[in-house]
Chains A and B, each alone.
Chain A
């Protein structure tokens, strides 16, 4: 079967995806990508604070950042934009993000099976070797439903 579409381009897709909805509201930006990974930026915003008495980014936006980066890393790896559903996402927080600092999220799709995709990633502000959080996510690739026959 010949696909009429060019291979998935994470930079082009990000331009479209980040205009709307939740990630548009967060102001996510595309940074860079490789064969099976993508890095996005979550800019600092005063109204995303997680605590009353400390200027620290809430953990929720970091989940949004890493969920989005995970999805795009899967499409980048598969080279096609196919619906995926997040089954679960785990975030281990190493330290709070620095005050007034943007947070970068790099997600790598390290394995794709017939129906699942596995992602790991790092959120950091300054130095990727000094992470804010590590994540692990599992996704269902909806278009490859094994019930629809041979794959």
Chain B
């Protein structure tokens, strides 16, 4: 669970988010149990219905948190494969309101070629996620 004094980790700055994540305004907020927590400020470019997150923006945050968690874990194992999405299922649990939103992924099962990642996004109350995602990702070794 979240501890009140999560430490900011220097490696948070090392983790390079993709162009899409940067364009959307996603940043690495902090690390918890060596896994990154991403956050995004509400703004017009993520708005769907007035004053609420667009489901696509929420999904973008979830997917990026999933990839960031996976990259963090792979790095500790000294692996740097290309990641290819197989599928993602996003469950929308409640409206994303116009406030700062967080997401964190955890690795459910890491194999040699496949990985299953689950992600949660929340706003004020971490025990009430606004959306969750399950992702299956293929890992391909880069040509030497």
Q: Chain A: residues with CB nearer than 8 A to chain B? A: 20-23, 25-26, 46-52, 54, 57-61, 63-65, 67-68, 83, 85-93, 96
Contacts and interface: CB of A to CB of B under 8 A. Distances in A.
A143 B99 CA distance: 26
B85 A93 contact: yes
Interface of B: 16, 18-24, 44-49, 54-57, 59-60, 63-64, 82-92, 95
A63 B24 CA distance: 14
Contacts of B60: 58, 60-61, 63-64
Contact of A21 (B44, B63, B64): B44
B45 A67 contact: no
Nearest to A96: B84
Q: DSSP class of A's interface residues: helix, strand, loop or mixed?
A: mixed
A59 B91 contact: no
B87 A92 contact: yes
A40 to B, nearest CB: 12
A149 B24 CA distance: 42
B87 A63 contact: no
A86 B55 contact: yes
A57 B19 CA distance: 10
Contacts of B23: 47-48
